[in-house]
Structures are given as C-alpha cells and as structure tokens.
Amino acid sequence: MAPKNKILPVKTRSGKTSVTSADADDPTEPAVASGARPLDRYDVAILRELQAEARLSNTELAARIGLSAAPTWRRVKWLEEQGFITGYRAEIDRRKIGLGVLAFVRVDAERHNAQATQALEAAIRDLPEVVACHYISGTGTFELHVMATDLDAFSRWVKQTLFKLPHVKDLQTSFSLGEVKAGAALPLAHLERVR
C-alpha cells in the first residue's frame, strides 16, 4: 500500500510516464497503479461539466463535482493524458462570422486501395473549409461537412479545390436548410449505468 500523498510515476497507454499522487486513504482519488482504469462517477462528472462549460476554473469544477481542488486537478490531468479530453475550444456561431452555407458532401474515391485512400485523406485534412470528415457506409467513401460564405463561394471551392483532390471520382452534395441541433455534448449516461 502506498504511503499517503506519495508521488508515483504512471506509464500511460502512449508509453509516456507521468507523475500522479496516490492517496491510499482517500476513496476519491483515482486508482492509478497502471495507466488504464475504468472511469468513475467523478471522472464522468468532470467530463459532463467541462463539455457544458470548458472555461470553469479548477475551483469551480471541484465545487460542482463534490471534490476538493487538488484531486479534481489531478483527475483532469489524467483524463487529458489518457486522451479522454482531447482539447478545449470556443464554439462560434458560423453565421455571425459570415459562413452562411453548411454543405454535406459525399465523396466517392476513384480507387479503393490503401494508398489512394490515404492520399485523399491527407488532402482533405488540409482543407480549412472541411470542418468534419467521416468514412461512411453505402454510397461514397467520405462524407464532408463543408462551410462557405455563400453558394457562389461554395461552387468556386468545389471546382477549384475539391475536384482537384487526388482520386476524387464523384460528389453528391446536400445543403443544410436549418440547424435543429449542433455542437451538442457527447452523451455520458452509458458510463454511469455501468457503475
């Protein structure tokens, strides 16, 4: 059993070594003898609160989840190191900054082999107008979520950029006529049910 507040090195899944506090007498401290452990109710609460408001101070976050500041900070750092939290960003209203068009573009690749698909993937990643890209089943290889200022700008972008990407065979485009829900937090209820 580790002595109270002893600092222990922990190897994460990525092979990096981080330092964490092991407090054997505190049940609110995560069990971190190895890099991997199941999420507990405090971890889930942290994820929920940070999805709702990522600008919370550590003190505010600790108060909301019912822990003191130090273990809350350690848990947030662990969630970041393990890749549960991948970053923090501001949500921006696209219309306020002049991005009036949201298009969903299905891209069918010319060839379905690893090299061609990887070349197309790499090219898509470099396009700032593409805010999301997914491999899809059914018709097409990828579905892109594309933003543009207006229809003319979108049309120019398709002709001058998208059609010139490597191995693009065909495109099918649908336009958003209005957002019902966007920028939603990920559902976490399934994590609470297994506890």
Please name the amino acid found at residue 7: I
The DSSP line for 85-109 is S--------GGGGT--EEEEEEEEE
Three-state DSSP class for residue 96: helix
Which pLDDT score, from 0 to 100, does residue 1 have? 35
Beta bridge partners, 134, equal 143
DSSP-H helix ranges across the chain: 41-52, 58-65, 69-81, 114-125, 151-160, 189-193
CA atoms within 13 A on the CB side of 32: 29
Q: Which residue has the tokens 């002049």?
A: 98
Retrieve residue 179's tokens: 């957002």
Cα separation of 71 and 40, whole Å? 13
Which pLDDT score, from 0 to 100, does residue 19 have? 41
Cα separation of 184 and 46, whole Å? 16
Three-state DSSP class for residue 169: strand
Tell me which of 106 and 17 has the higher pLDDT.
106
Q: What average pLDDT does the segment 89-113 reach?
A: 91
pLDDT digits (tens, 9 = 90+) for 44-94: 999 999 999 999 999 999 999 999 999 999 999 999 999 999 999 999 999
Please name the amino acid found at residue 158: V
Equal fold, 6-88 vs 94-175: no
Tell me which of 146 and 24 has the higher pLDDT.
146
Retrieve residue 62's tokens: 């600790």
Q: What does the domain layout of the chain look like in residue ranges?
A: 6-88, 94-175
* CATH number for the domain whose boundaries are 6-88: 1.10.10.10
Contact indicator for 146, 102 with CB cutoff of 8 Å: yes
pTM of the model as a whole: 0.73
> Which CATH architecture best describes the domain 94-175?
2-Layer Sandwich (3.30)
